[in-house]
Amino acid sequence: MKANSNKAKYEARPWLEFYQENVPSDVDIPEQSVVEAFDQATDRWKDRTALVFYGRKISYRDLRDHVDRFAAALHDLGVKKGDKVALLLLNSPQFIIAYFAALKAGATLTAISPLYVMPEIKHQIEDSEARFIVCQDILYQNVEKTKTRLDAVILTRADEYLPTIKKFLGGSLMRAVYQKMTPPPPEVFQREGFYRFQDLIKEYPPNPPAVEFKVQEDLVTLTYTGGTTGLPKGAMITHQNLNAARRLLNTFWGDVIREGEETIIADLPFCHIYGQSVVMLGGLCDGHTLVIFATLDLDEILDSIGSYKATVFYGVPTLYAYLRDYHRTAKVNWSRVKLLVSGADALPRDTAAAWERLTGTVIHEGWGMTETSSVGIASPYGRPKPNSFGIPLPNTVAAIADPDSNKFRPIGEIGELLIKGPQLAMGYWNNTEESCTAFVQIEGETWLRTCDLAKMDEEGYFYFYDRKRHMIKYKGLAIFAREIEEVLSTHPQVKEAIVVGVPDPDVGERVKAVIVLETDARGKASQEEITAYCSERLAHYKVPKMIEFRGELPKRDGDIVARRGLNEEGL
């Protein structure tokens, strides 16, 4: 009975008290496909600017025209309902056009990270059963190396939607990140099944096929996410999952974000669910303007905040840390940006505090996963708590359970975060075993086991401690890597730090810290100094026994630190 009483306390949703005025506890979510939402937006805001791409403005009217033309082309090339279309593209108008066009043709998308190398691309194409791909021309050589059979390959150049005066930028954008890669020769288009993106836009009329959707079942995307073991898995996200995610987040922010009025900085990768669901779909289906960046450029972002009067800024902790340390950040009038959000990783305390001192604005933290269509928990507007990633959205319940069972823990205790709501994905593509492990049935309801270790306070605010697989066990004692990282981040000479457990047969695991020093501290700060600093602030068994200094930490898309990459190095 005690376990059930613990569960009841979470289901009582104490966090509702801290919703903004007029934000309901539950929202009626009518069934709607992503295609319908997009068409309604483009009908309603025809003359509003949908996209800004390095100065090139594209209206909702023109975006709809290009989407419908490309959908007609895909249909003619053989794309039908249920087919899988892969996207290997940078953030660009082409990504957005291909995304909505493929959906209009009835397909399911799978977006591949432009940073992936051949084996990763091969796995995602083959596992998703993609038959078609829309690809950045300079990235195609990695697709070619997979030797995967595809029915059609559609190639596009980075400069196709740039203003004439910036055409040269297309090549430089790509060369800056993909220095060793070159586009295929023109002769590739003589091969069967190869097409130019712009040729298809020009050749086909804006007459997309008529497709009926079962929004509770039909998939919008197979979004690949790393698991605790093995290769990445494709989360099956439906039209209604994304429809629910968008409506819940809009409701939660109340009157802060108004339909058809906002300008959003869109630098988060669209290939990942945060950029795709919150920024791209949330922005375009509600009539906002997206200022798109193909690659991370702090000067371009800062210039655009002023030039386009940005009102919403979504980022990740590393981006806020970069901006915090950048000399031009303080010159921007951040008070004009009414909502700043950090997600995809825990926001360090020192970053949040330094940001507020520097800009006079507050970052609202949020939490979500691929499996929750990106959204689940967020800080209520105007009432964020230090170190907390917020409270559950409407229609959503979060709870803390024992990491090794479905028993709910008392409020205030650390355990595994569980969540339920209409934004939960259907499971993992072709992976019943992993689906049953992550999406569990408790008293007839589906809960997602997130693998995040967290706790909830009496007001219903949640606090992140670590990923379950990142918890370090030393002589049977649990050590949270993030706790040590927070201490290291307060050292004045430490720029970045990440902590991992190194297997040791005598004690289980030893704590290792990998540290990037501030530029002027390199070659000066010592391991002994770092150890002494930690010894004053941490129990002896939490103090790193091994310290390594590096020039940089491995990162994945969105500049999120790749802890898994360090573990795979055998650290």
Window from 8-12, 289-293, 358-362, 516-520 with minimum mean pLDDT: 516-520
Please check whether residue 333 is in contact with residue 306, taking contact to mean a CB–CB distance below 8 angstroms. Answer: yes
| Res. 431: pLDDT tops 50 | yes
The pLDDT of residue 524: 84
At which residue do the structure tokens 């450029």 appear? 297
Amino acid making up residue 548: E
CA dist 476 and 324 (Å) reads 38
The pLDDT of residue 120: 87
Amino acid making up residue 217: E
| Angle subtended at Cα 374 by Cα 419 and Cα 426, rounded to the nearest 5 degrees | 65
- Give the contacts of 133 (CB within 8 A, at least 6 positions apart): 85, 86, 87, 88, 125, 143, 150, 152, 153, 154
Which CATH architecture best describes the domain 2-18+224-466?
Answer: 3-Layer(aba) Sandwich (3.40)
For the chain, what are the domain ranges?
2-18+224-466, 37-47+58-212, 471-568
Please check whether residue 569 is in contact with residue 550, taking contact to mean a CB–CB distance below 8 angstroms. Answer: no
233: β partners? 225
CA dist 529 and 201 (Å) reads 61
Sign of the dihedral defined by the CA atoms of residues 143, 145, 146, 147, in that order: positive
Annotate 359-407 with DSSP letters as a single string.
HS--PEEEE--GGGTT-SEEPPTT---TTEEEEEPTT-EEEEE-TTSSP
Q: pLDDT higher for 58 or 520?
A: 58
pLDDT tier for residue 2 given thresholds of 50, 70 and 90: low
pLDDT tier for residue 1 given thresholds of 50, 70 and 90: very low
Q: Which tokens in the block code for residue 513?
A: 């810290």
DSSP H or E stretch at residue 245: helix 239-252
CA dist 275 and 374 (Å) reads 9
| Res. 38: pLDDT tops 90 | yes
Amino acid making up residue 48: R
Phi, psi of 125 (to 5 degrees): -65, -45
Single pTM value for the model:
0.86
CB atoms within 10 A of CB 92: 25
Phi, psi of 127 (to 5 degrees): -70, -40
pLDDT tier for residue 476 given thresholds of 50, 70 and 90: low
pLDDT tier for residue 225 given thresholds of 50, 70 and 90: confident
**DSSP 8-state code for residue 281:** I
Amino acid making up residue 60: Y
- Give the contacts of 191 (CB within 8 A, at least 6 positions apart): none
The pLDDT of residue 471: 73
The pLDDT of residue 540: 83
| Res. 215: pLDDT tops 90 | yes
What does each C-alpha distance from 121 to 74, 110, 140 come to in angstroms?
Answer: 22, 11, 11
The pLDDT of residue 571: 46
DSSP H or E stretch at residue 44: helix 34-44
Average pLDDT over residues 101-113: 97
Q: Mean pLDDT of all residues in the chain? A: 90
CA dist 103 and 80 (Å) reads 10
Same fold, 2-18+224-466 and 37-47+58-212: yes
pLDDT tier for residue 563 given thresholds of 50, 70 and 90: low
Closest CA to 174 of 141, 130, 220, 132: 141
Share above pLDDT 70 across residues of the chain, in percent, rounded to a whole number: 92
End-to-end CA distance of the chain: 44
pLDDT tier for residue 229 given thresholds of 50, 70 and 90: very low
Closest CA to 390 of 346, 429, 360: 346
Phi, psi of 278 (to 5 degrees): -75, -50
- What SS3 state is found at 90? coil
- Give the contacts of 85 (CB within 8 A, at least 6 positions apart): 74, 79, 98, 102, 105, 107, 108, 109, 110, 130, 131, 132, 133, 134
Please check whether residue 317 is in contact with residue 348, taking contact to mean a CB–CB distance below 8 angstroms. Answer: yes
What does each C-alpha distance from 171 to 167, 168, 176, 177, 436 come to in angstroms?
Answer: 8, 6, 9, 10, 46
pLDDT tier for residue 556 given thresholds of 50, 70 and 90: low
Q: Which tokens in the block code for residue 103?
A: 């959906």
pLDDT tier for residue 96 given thresholds of 50, 70 and 90: very high
CATH of span 471-568: 3.30.300.30
Sign of the dihedral defined by the CA atoms of residues 525, 531, 537, 543, in that order: positive
Kindly report, residue by residue over 486-519, the tens digit of the pLDDT: 889 889 999 889 898 888 877 778 899 999 999 8
Q: pLDDT higher for 487 or 231?
A: 487
Share above pLDDT 90 across residues of the chain, in percent, rounded to a whole number: 72
Window from 173-187, 307-321, 522-536 with minimum mean pLDDT: 173-187
CA dist 353 and 194 (Å) reads 52
CA dist 287 and 264 (Å) reads 11
SS3 content of the chain, % helix, strand, coil (to 5): 35, 25, 40
Phi-psi region of 230 (alpha: psi -120 to 50; beta: other; left: phi over 0): left
The pLDDT of residue 166: 67
CATH of span 37-47+58-212: 3.40.50.980
Average pLDDT over residues 366-376: 95
The pLDDT of residue 227: 46
DSSP H or E stretch at residue 121: helix 118-128
Kindly report, residue by residue over 313-333, the tens digit of the pLDDT: 999 988 998 999 999 999 999
The pLDDT of residue 202: 97
